[in-house]
Amino acid sequence: MALAGSCILQWMPTKPSKNLEIFDNPAPQRDYTIRIDVPEFTCLCPKTGQPDFATFKIEYVPDNHCIELKSLKLYMWSFRDEGAFHEAVTNKILTDLVKACEPRFMRVSGIFNVRGGIYTTVVVEHRKPGWQAPAHITLP
């Protein structure tokens, strides 16, 4: 439907993508933590083809780059039609994120919904060689 004097925008749906984008860390001189929750992750069970649902928690201390969130959303969406064991997909996500942004530290937790009466949580970590976490401070 065209209106006189107006332009018509055609809706272009986003598509899943394995391309992870990064941007420069705005404070590379400082150790700080970025925490991201992805509550709508889905992939397929490689045995049954049925969907698996999970929440992914990503925690990282960036070095020179940070992960751009829209590209992360499209990346996580790209697993929707793929068969993957929980352990394999969690490790793959860590590997791909580390490759993209080369953080000082990263932890990825895949918290999978119940399947066959069993909940599964897979936690994987990466540490940049030579990096040590700052001492934890407990305030009074």
Per the annotation, the verdict on 81 as an active-site residue is: no
Catalytic residue among 24, 31, 37, 45: 45
Catalytic residue among 7, 24, 37, 52: 52
The rounded distance, in Å, linking the Cα atoms of 79 and 48 is 16
Per the annotation, the verdict on 101 as an active-site residue is: no
The rounded distance, in Å, linking the Cα atoms of 60 and 57 is 10
Q: Which of 52, 61, 73 is nearest to 29 (CA)?
A: 61
Residues assigned a catalytic role: 45, 52
